[in-house]
Structure 1
């Protein structure tokens, strides 16, 4: 099956930096990359902010022992690390 009349490059134009949506407008590129980088930075700040203070919160206001607090923090870190895999599996479907 050959394309007749015009080549695929002529129809798509300059789409090396972005992709086309259903209306033919450019989407993606550095504008989307900045959003993704910003969201990832916010996620990292939230993760390390919570993980650094979690044992102090569990042992102080909640009154847990240090061993129980450490076990709960390890469970939290394991759950947070596993969630992207679960999200990827759900998105694949």
Structure 2
């Protein structure tokens, strides 16, 4: 992607196997500063590890405000959503 001029990449983490540390190290080695994760694979340890490496974490696709608040408490950076605007969850 970088050879085509894209510099800011977001890694969409799929079904591949990883530990929090191996994911953070892969992103760090490849200069990837943001990842998107499914709800089911996101947890506080993973978010804390990514944060140690200064990698932003976003959850896809989330349309439930209560779930968003749960992930906000885990320090997730943001969400992919179909219709919820930041004011509805208290974020700007």
TM > 0.5: no
Larger Rg: 1
Q: TM-score, normalised by structure 2?
A: 0.23
Structure with bigger strand share is 2
